[in-house]
Structure 1
Amino acid sequence: MAKQHEYQLIDMINDKARLAGSNKMELLLFSLGGHETFGINVFKVREVCETLPITKTPNMPGGVEGIISLRGSILPVLNLAACLNMENDKPKTKLIITEFSTHTQAFLVHDVDRIVRVDWDHVRAPQSMPAHVSGKITALTELPDGKLVSILDVEQILGDVIGDEPVPTFEPVTEEVGNATLFFADDSPLARKKIMEVLDKLKITYQFAHNGREAWEKLRAVAAKAEAENANLSKQIGMILVDAEMPEMDGYVLTRHIKEDARFKGIPVVMHSSLSSVANKKLGQQVGVDGYVAKFHPEELASMITNMMRNTKEAAL
């Protein structure tokens, strides 16, 4: 890819704010040497560059090629083809430098194609996938030319490579926060598992949805029932936790819907996202989120949940 093309990619990557609340996503398309096309949310991409010299180091996990030095930072390099059990002899010419979940790393790929914009409502969770990529592809979308793009769950891939940190033990907080339920929405099985572990240890009841559209339908149903019964909704739902990236409706649009519906007044919305940069936190603030927690930090998540739900309980008295 020509240098000018690389600079154009970086310029587009830096122009993120205009997508907040639009229910659109920009995908960086790339290949791993086969016929498949893969994509990663541009929000997670810091830059794209030609492959740099990779230093092999001992005791690296499978899928990690080594490390590189980039502008004074030492970054691990993950061979995406190896991580997906799709290794081949095609040359790997590009590095995608990514930043999410407060980690920065490089993904080694065969080649980078272009950036495309897609509507979240045209993105669907896969019904079934081959065993070698099962759990590592979070969604699929179809481009206007009919080409299918597999959107990678890079958090799951990173977790598989470096391992999961165990969720610590927390003291139950039922007396502090009351009997209200926490509602959360996240399309990632890994994220849902982590959230549920935290909530189970806090002894907080919960409901969840797999994407923003499903979440909004469930939340409206709960609100309609409370309205019909003349009940205080904030005594039933103490907090709503949303992911930023979700098929069909993203967390920004979901938050905007919640904040525009008077029935949810007084119920805090917290964004729990791997998009951990300052810019992405500001995007959440633009649509009205009350708090922001980066994935995956169980102590910070537990503290945020406890404080927010305690405040909701006190305000509802």
Structure 2
Amino acid sequence: MSNVLNSVNQRTNLAGQNRFELLLFRLNGNQLFGINVFKVREVIQAPELSEMPGSHACVKGIAQLRGDSVIVVDLSQATTGVPIADMSKAFVIVTEYNRHVQGFLVSGVDRIVNLNWDQIKPPPQGAGRGHYLTAVTEIEKQLIQIIDVEKVFSEIIPMEEEVSDQVKAQSHKLDLSKIVVLVADDSAVARNQVKRALNSVNIHAELVKDGQEALDWLHKRAESAGTNLIHEVPLLISDIEMPRMDGYTLAAEIKADAKLKDIHIILHSSLSGVFNEAMVKKVGADQFIAKFHPDELLSAVNYWLEQSS
């Protein structure tokens, strides 16, 4: 399985075409789940794990991988409350999210499929707030559930979300009373992390769930704007991986539109350490920032707002 991950450039080029590869896996049972291959470093048979005293109940232990210590989380227990039943047949999906490398314990790995982002749909309405889905898709008439890994992380390994007073002070130089920052992310946890950071310095944030919704929102706002839209909406903060339209495609669409092209774009993704800088520049985005460091994000926001004033 590990050799399927040998070409970072190939996978980032897929993203630039609003396409991606989904690794399908199982937890206990026959239901298939998915994770973007771009976030996966390797897939291995579950190794022997060392106990981690005092850790969250879903942390099964620490694996030694090529000299590095990697926390392994039982993804079934974290999302359904039921631990993986048979460790002898289990696999670990080693991933990089939010500047950390970690492993997810799963009961089985199925295959990799190549999809368009427009095949990925938001979770069904009425699913409530307690679910762990960020999206769903259908493959060969079977529903595939894509897990909101950021939500899993926020419950198992809480992150620092407070903005420092020093960074807050930078915002005091700016007139923030008449502007809106648009935030696009398919993870509710990630959207609210960004919103709290912006709200801490009285920046109003509008939240949308995917690239298509962001583009529709901007088009509607541009129609009603009496002046150049950048004076009202100077900045977009967008995830890269989103249903219907990814962040790369969204950035390219914005820069190709005469009414929107002056908006500054920060791509804010959990794809830390593995992204295509050339692609970020190609689609016209101004900056890439790995999730989630509130001071770094807000410092970038301050900079681009200054450029717009």
The TM-score normalised by the length of structure 2 is: 0.91
Q: 2:106 pairs with 102, 109, 112, which one? A: 109
Q: 2: distance between equivalents of 1:251 and 1:94?
A: 30
Residue aligning to 1:211? 210
| Partner amino acid, structure 1, of 2:223 | A
Q: 2: distance between equivalents of 1:55 and 1:130?
A: 36
Q: 2:14 pairs with 10, 19, 28, which one? A: 19
1:32, distance to aligned residue in structure 2 (A): 1.1
Q: 2:75 pairs with 57, 75, 80, which one? A: 80
Q: Secondary structure at the match of 1:276?
A: coil
Residue aligning to 1:44? 39
Q: 2: distance between equivalents of 1:76 and 1:58?
A: 12
| Partner amino acid, structure 2, of 1:311 | Q
Distance 1:88 1:76, change over 3 A: closer
Are 1:90 and 2:117 an aligned pair?
no
Q: 2: distance between equivalents of 1:99 and 1:186?
A: 18
| Partner amino acid, structure 1, of 2:181 | L
Residue aligning to 2:60? 65
Q: 2: distance between equivalents of 1:218 and 1:232?
A: 16
Percentage of pairs with the same residue? 36
Q: 1: distance between equivalents of 2:131 and 2:278?
A: 30
Residue aligning to 2:174? 176
Residue aligning to 1:100? 97
- List runs of 5+ in structure 2 lacking aligned partners: none
Q: 2: distance between equivalents of 1:130 and 1:233?
A: 35
1:265, distance to aligned residue in structure 2 (A): 3.2
| Partner amino acid, structure 2, of 1:27 | L
Q: 1:288 pairs with 270, 284, 288, which one? A: 284
Instruction: Give CA-to-partner distance per residue, 1:245-286, whole Å, 9 cap, x none.
Output: 111111111001001112223321110111112434443223
Q: 2: distance between equivalents of 1:59 and 1:37?
A: 31
1:165, distance to aligned residue in structure 2 (A): 2.0
Instruction: Give CA-to-partner distance per residue, 1:166-215, whole Å, 9 cap, x none.
Output: 32353472542543221121111101111111111111122221111111
Are 1:312 and 2:286 an aligned pair?
no
Moved over 6 A (4+): none
1:135, distance to aligned residue in structure 2 (A): 3.7
Q: 1: distance between equivalents of 2:63 and 2:8?
A: 22
Moved more, 297-306 or 134-143: 134-143
User: What's the RMSD between the two structures over aligned residues?
Assistant: 2.0
Q: Does the aligned pair in 1 maintain the 2:161–2:193 contact within 8 Å?
A: no
Moved more, 100-109 or 200-209: 200-209
| Partner amino acid, structure 2, of 1:259 | K
The total of aligned residue pairs comes to: 303
| Partner amino acid, structure 1, of 2:200 | K
Q: Does the aligned pair in 2 maintain the 1:128–1:134 contact within 8 Å?
A: no
Residue aligning to 2:158? 163
Instruction: Give CA-to-partner distance per residue, 1:209-258, whole Å, 9 cap, x none.
Output: 111111101101112222xx3x1221111111111011111111100100
Q: 2:118 pairs with 112, 118, 121, which one? A: 121
Q: 2: distance between equivalents of 1:273 and 1:311?
A: 22
Residue aligning to 1:251? 247
- List runs of 5+ in structure 1 lacking aligned partners: 1-5
Q: Does the aligned pair in 2 maintain the 1:13–1:42 contact within 8 Å?
A: no
Q: 1: distance between equivalents of 2:20 and 2:175?
A: 36
